[in-house]
Amino acid sequence: MLRCFVAIGLPAEVQTALARLQAALPLPRPAAAESFHLTLAFLGDIVETAADEAHLALAALRAPGFALTLEGVALFGGAKPRVVYAAVAPQPALMALQAKVEVALRRAGLSPDARRFTPHVTLGRLTGGRAEAARVEAAAAAAAGFRAGPWRVAHFGLWRSDPAPGGRIHAEIMRYPLTAGRAG
Ligand code: 3AM
């Protein structure tokens, strides 16, 4: 079994900006800066033949590249925040790509997570304490002016997630080009 997801990787200068932002937040479980990503679809633990099917479906997908900007810092989880993330400026071409990825995966017989897509780059996770949540919320509010990009997204990828001491490590295993269209 292989834990897989589909994501957009980030250029080095955006990773650096995010690492700087991350350092300004008191995160109990920071995400590894070298594998910051924007998840498009989560496939979960799948057998290798299913990963091969996902690869074939993604390799056949055609969608235009686009410009992306990160803007602001926010938290998932409402009253019990669990994830701190950099938000993404609205980009219809990103939403269209995500929808195409999801359809392509379903047509290939896979079952991507069906939750509503909220574009984000995870910076770190919380452990559940109330004082910790208050500290992170205050720091996130102070960093609300964060902005990185725009940069051009020219490809997306199939990623794997593996357990590692202190969390999980993520790595892109396949990359799929976007077309040089006009979007964004
Ligand atoms: O790094 P982010 O947060 O974008 O949160 C997990 C991570 O996304 C997400 O998939 C990415 C790689 O692990 N993830 C984990 N379990 C998930 C699930 N059941 C999930 N996304 C949706 N549904």
The pLDDT tens digits of the residues spanning 25-45 come to: 999 999 999 999 999 999 999
Closest listed residue to residue 58, CA positions, set 110, 120, 94: 110
| Helix ranges (DSSP H) in the chain | 12-23, 48-59, 92-107, 130-142
d(CA 179, CA 169): 29
Domains of the chain with CATH codes: 2-177 (3.90.1140.10)
Q: Ligand 1 centroid to 6 CA: how many Å?
A: 10
pLDDT in tens, 53-106: 999 999 999 999 999 999 999 999 999 999 999 999 999 999 999 999 999 999
Candidate of 42, 45, 111, 116 to mutate for ligand 1, largest count of ligand atoms within 8 Å of Cβ: 42
CA 132 to chain centre: 24
| Residue 166 confidence class, pLDDT cut points 50, 70, 90 | confident
Q: Ligand 1 centroid to 39 CA: how many Å?
A: 7
Tell me the sheet residues that pair with 64: 179
Taking all residues of the chain, what is their mean pLDDT, rounded to a whole number? 96
| Helix ranges (DSSP H) in 24-91 | 48-59
45 lines ligand 1 (CB under 6 A): no
